[in-house]
């Protein structure tokens, strides 16, 4: 392993790809990735990719937008309103 | 309804590479004569609409048949009609996704496109009906020197937010689904222009598992948000009527009744368009008769829901002992606009009953005719609610008969022109079926040792 900086492979079956990714990760390879035409179940875990941060961004935006929206609502109807 | 396995829909013989070829093919060859004919016809209708809008901007609202006491007529009928059409796309893409109904995969892309075009078409009506279209941005609560603020207690303003949110979420949802497919089209592009065009649209998508990870989360979240919108948008649209005191409008049944009607008309429009699209672009392997049949079942179900709502309205009018409410409903059955009521009832309640028979549900000519009739019925439902409730108000000296002008008809057909033109452009330029999702749901070949699986 020490001789190689990187490895690359081509697979024609998703199950074999997941197996291979799992094997490579267990052998200590880091920064694994796979390019696939569609999402493959279990491949993210096999490659050692963590959970997506998209839900957290959604949560923060989801909480901030209604509060600014209600601020605009009360602003129009009470403080700035006629 | 239990989720049927994908094998019932897609043949085991389809290979992954074939999916890409089949779906990209219509965008690569020159358009057929039939497409040109359809495109010129819809662009012609759109031209009529543009002409009417031009005359409207020059001469004002007086060109339409609206007057006292029917301040609303064709404009809001068209608005509600088109917003309703959009609901099938959202239901297919969001609710069926969350319910793991995988058959949606073949039809969600085109149905979502329909949603976006329908909402765009719908939005034009209230915008032009505002009267002073050049200050339509006053609908948004902007800090300003005019000291003019929107009235947040008005359901018409809730509508502005409901519809704009609906449009934004639907557009982002649709585009998110398109990104991997644009990348596929970029990779398959045969000339420089196509490579640049789809390359720009694909936002640098590589198909890396890290991207897919984010993609799947984002898609799920969009589905969750859209699910709420399926129910909320038409609920808010129904509030435009239900929060008023006009007899025939002032009723609590409106929100569920409108939502059911919207899904009903939306599915009918999806059936109408897919009947053509699947044949014209040879997508029968992906959009199968099974798909069409399931949509027809939904039409049957929602048709009975609206039928139930129609009858409930009459029951409540009688049960409430409110003379005004009773009068409006007697007037619907026997008044000058009773023909609109009978068209609505026949098309929406009687006609879909044909779908109880499997033979009818799976017959392309039958479903085509029924889907058109359902949409005729749904247009008249809105017309019936709006005009028949308004034309005889509380003061009999106000009573008058609504007579549409040539311009009313002009912008109604112009709206169909806009919608169909956009849809025809969509089927030429974009992948009409989700390539990545079809590949994801494709059943594995019986003999997986075959190398051809990868394509």
Buried b (16+ CB within 10 A) or exposed e, B419-437: bbbbbbebbeebbbbbbbb
Residues A23 and A55 placed together within one structural domain of the fold: no
Residues of A in contact with B232 (CB under 8 A): none
B3-7, B312-316, B385-389, B403-407: which has the minimum mean pLDDT? B3-7
Which range among A14-18, B141-145, B148-152 shows the weakest confidence by mean pLDDT?
B141-145
- Domain span at residue B220 reads 6-454
Our CA-based measurement puts residue A74 at a distance from the nearest CA of chain B, in whole angstroms, of: 9
Among A39-48, B124-133, B331-340, top mean pLDDT goes to: B331-340
In this structure, the answer to whether residues A40 and A55 fall within a common structural domain is: no
Hey, are the CB atoms on A13 and B448 less than 8 Å from each other?
yes
Q: Which pLDDT band, with edges at 50, 70 and 90, does A81 fall under?
A: low
A8 and A40 share one domain: yes
Task: Tell whether A39 and A74 lie within a shared domain.
Answer: no
Best residue of B21, B185, B212 to probe chain A, by most A CBs closer than 10 Å: B212
Does B330 lie at the interface with A, CB-CB under 8 angstroms?
Answer: no
Q: What is the CATH number of the domain that holds B20?
A: 1.20.1630.10
Return the pLDDT at B452.
45
Is B149 close to A81, i.e. CB distance below 8 A?
yes
**What's the average model confidence in pLDDT over B153-158?**
87
Residue B142 predicted with pLDDT over 80: no
CB–CB contact A44 B149 (8 Å): no
Whether residue A2 is found in the same domain as residue A17: yes
Question: How confident is the model at residue B310, as a pLDDT?
Answer: 92
Residue B388 belongs to some domain of the structure: yes
Q: What does the pLDDT average to over B189-211?
A: 88
pLDDT of residue B9: 65
**Contact (CB<8Å) A13/B454:** yes
Q: Does B141 touch chain A (CB under 8 A)?
A: yes
pLDDT at B271 over 50: yes
> Would you call A58 an interface residue with chain B, using a CB distance cutoff of 8 Å?
yes
Residue B190: predicted pLDDT: 84
Domain assignment present for residue B12? The answer is yes
Residue B68 lies in a domain: yes
Say yes or no to pLDDT of B424 above 60: yes
Categorize the per-residue pLDDT at B380 as very low, low, confident or very high, splitting at 50, 70 and 90.
Answer: very high
Q: Confirm whether B24 is domain-assigned.
A: yes
Q: Is residue B311 part of a domain?
A: yes
Residue B268 in this model has a pLDDT that exceeds 90: yes
Judged by CB atoms closer than 8 Å, whether chains meet at A39 and B212 is answered as: yes
Q: What is the mean pLDDT of residues B29-56?
A: 91
pLDDT surpassing 70 at residue A2: no
| Mean pLDDT score across all residues of chain B | 86
* Of B126-135, B303-312, B351-360, minimum mean pLDDT range: B126-135
pLDDT, greater one: A31 or B293: B293
pLDDT higher than threshold 60 for residue B71 = yes
Q: Which of B141, B217, B454 sits opposite A76 (nearest CB)?
A: B141
pLDDT reading at B245 higher than 80: yes
In chain B, the percentage of residues whose pLDDT exceeds 70 is 93
Range of the domain at A59: 51-82
At residue B13, the pLDDT reads 67
How large is the average pLDDT for residues B190-202?
A: 88
Percentage, residues of chain B above pLDDT 90? 42
Q: Are B54 and B415 in contact (CB under 8 A)?
A: no
B chain contacts of residue A55, beta-carbon cutoff 8 Å: 217, 221
| A35·B206 Cβ contact <8 A | yes
Question: How many domains in chain B?
Answer: 1
Residue pairs between chains A and B whose CB atoms are closer than 8 Å: 79
State whether A5 and A16 are in the same domain: yes
Residues A10 and A42 in one domain: yes
Task: Report chain A residues whose CB lies below 8 A from the CB of B217.
Answer: 52, 54-55
3-state secondary structure chain B: CCCCCHHHCCCCCCCHHHHHHHHHHHHHCCCCHHHHHHHHHHHHHHHHHHHHHHHHHHHCHHHCCCCCCCCCCHHHHHHHHHHHHHHHHHHHHHHHHHCCCHHHHHCHHHHHHHHHHHHHHHHHHHHHHCCCHHHHHHHCCCCCCCCCCCCCCCHHHHHHHHHHHHHHHHHHHHHHHHHHHHHHHHHHCCCHHHHHHHHHHCCCCCCEHHHHHHHHHHHHHHHHHHHHHHHHHHHHHHHHHHCCCCCCCCCCCHHHHHHHHHHHHHHHHHHHHHHHHHHHCCCCCCCCHHHHHHHHHHHHHHHHHHHHHHHHHHHHHHHCCCHHHHHHHHHHHHCCCHHHHHHHHHHHHHHHHHHHCHHHHCCHHHHHHHHHHHHHHHHHHHHHHHHHHHCCCCCHHHCCCCCCCHHHHHHHHHHHHHHHHHHHHHHHHCCCCCHHHHHHHCCCCCCCCCHHHHC
Closest CB from A35, A43, A54 relative to B214: A54
Largest CA-CA distance found in chain B, in angstroms, rounded:
82
Residue B315 contacts A, CB cutoff 8 Å? no
Residue B406 pLDDT grade (very low, low, confident, very high; cuts 50, 70, 90): very high
Per-residue pLDDT band for B11 (boundaries 50, 70, 90) equals low
Query: How much is the pLDDT for B17?
Result: 77
Q: Which residues of B touch A35 (CB under 8 A)?
A: 206-209
**Which chain B residues in 268-287 lie under 8 Å from chain A, judged by CB atoms?**
none
Whether residue B376 is predicted with pLDDT greater than 70 in this model: the reply is yes
pLDDT at B3 (0 to 100):
46
Q: How confident is the model at residue B454 (pLDDT cuts 50, 70, 90)?
A: very low
Q: How large is the ipTM?
A: 0.85
Domain count, chain A: 2
> Is the CB of residue A24 less than 8 Å away from at least one CB of chain B?
no
Residue A49 has its nearest CB partner, among B209, B436, B439, at B209
Residue B108 lies in a domain: yes
The predicted pLDDT at position A72 comes to 78
A31 touches chain B (CB under 8 A): no
Is the pLDDT at B455 greater than 60, yes or no? no
Contact between B105 and B435 under an 8 Å Cβ cutoff? The reply is no
Look at residue B450 in the predicted model and tell me its pLDDT.
45
* Same domain (yes/no): A40, A11: yes
Local confidence band at B175 (pLDDT 50, 70, 90 cut-offs): very high
Q: Is A70 on the interface with B (CB under 8 A)?
A: no
What distance in Å separates residue A3's CA from the closest CA in chain B?
A: 26
Residue B1 lies in a domain: no
Which candidate in A52, A56, A58 is best for mutational testing of the B interface (most B CBs within 10 A)?
A: A52
Q: pLDDT band at residue B453, thresholds of 50, 70 and 90?
A: very low
A68 and chain B in contact, CB less than 8 A? no
Q: Quote the minimal CA–CA distance from A6 to chain B in Å.
A: 17
- A6 and A37 part of one domain: yes
Say if the Cβ atoms of B209 and A34 lie within 8 Å. yes
Note whether A77 contacts B: Cβ–Cβ < 8 A: yes
B216 contacts in chain A (CB < 8 Å): 39, 52
């Amino acid at each position: 392993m020490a001789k190689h900086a990187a490895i690359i492979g081509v697979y024609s079956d998703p199950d074999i790809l997941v197996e291979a990714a799992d094997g490579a990760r267990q052998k200590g390879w880091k920064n694994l990735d796979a390019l696939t035409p569609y999402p493959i179940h279990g491949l993210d875990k096999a490659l050692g990719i963590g959970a997506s941060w998209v839900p957290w961004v959604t949560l923060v935006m989801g909480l901030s937008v209604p509060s600014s929206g209600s601020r605009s609502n009360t602003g129009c109807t009470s403080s700035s309103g006629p | 309804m239990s989720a049927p396995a994908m094998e019932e829909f897609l043949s085991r013989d389809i290979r992954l590479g074939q999916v890409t070829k089949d779906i990209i093919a219509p965008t690569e060859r020159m358009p057929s004569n039939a497409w040109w004919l359809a495109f010129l016809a819809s662009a012609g209708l759109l031209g009529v609409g543009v002409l009417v809008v031009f005359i409207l901007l020059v001469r004002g609202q007086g060109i339409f048949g609206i007057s006292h006491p029917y301040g609303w007529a064709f404009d809001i009928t068209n608005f509600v009609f088109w917003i309703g059409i959009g609901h099938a796309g959202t239901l297919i893409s969001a609710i069926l996704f969350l319910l793991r109904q995988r058959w949606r995969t073949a039809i969600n892309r085109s149905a979502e496109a329909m949603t976006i075009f329908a909402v765009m078409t719908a939005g034009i009506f209230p915008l032009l009906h505002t009267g002073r279209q050049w200050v339509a941005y006053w609908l948004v609560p902007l800090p300003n020197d005019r000291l003019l603020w929107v009235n947040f207690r008005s359901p018409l303003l809730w509508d502005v937010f409901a519809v704009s949110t609906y449009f934004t979420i639907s557009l982002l949802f649709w585009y998110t689904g398109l990104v991997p497919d644009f990348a596929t089209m970029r990779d398959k592009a045969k000339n420089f222009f196509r490579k640049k065009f789809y390359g720009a649209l694909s936002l640098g998508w590589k198909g890396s598992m890290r991207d897919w990870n984010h993609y799947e989360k984002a898609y799920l979240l969009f589905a969750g948000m859209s699910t709420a919108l399926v129910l909320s948008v038409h609920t808010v649209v129904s509030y435009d009527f239900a929060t008023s005191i006009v007899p025939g409008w002032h009723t609590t049944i409106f929100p569920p009744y409108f939502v059911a009607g919207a899904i009903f008309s939306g599915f009918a429009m999806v059936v109408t368009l897919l009947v053509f699209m699947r044949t014209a672009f040879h997508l029968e392997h992906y959009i199968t008769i099974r798909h069409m049949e399931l949509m027809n079942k939904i039409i049957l179900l929602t048709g009975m829901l609206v039928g139930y709502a129609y009858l409930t309205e009459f029951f409540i009018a009688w049960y409430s002992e409110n003379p005004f409410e009773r009068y409006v409903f007697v007037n619907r059955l026997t008044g000058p606009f009773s023909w609109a009521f009978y068209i609505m009832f026949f098309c929406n309640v009687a006609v879909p009953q044909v779908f109880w028979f499997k033979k009818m549900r799976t017959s392309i000519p039958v479903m085509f005719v029924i889907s058109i009739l359902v949409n005729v019925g749904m247009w008249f439902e809105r017309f019936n609610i709006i005009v028949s409730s308004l034309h005889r108000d509380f003061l009999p000296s106000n009573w008058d008969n609504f007579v549409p002008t040539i311009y009313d008809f002009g912008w109604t057909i112009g709206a169909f022109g806009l919608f169909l033109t956009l849809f025809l452009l969509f089927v030429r330029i974009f992948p009409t079926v989700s390539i990545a999702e079809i590949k994801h749901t494709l059943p594995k070949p019986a003999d997986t040792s075959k190398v051809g699986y990868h394509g």
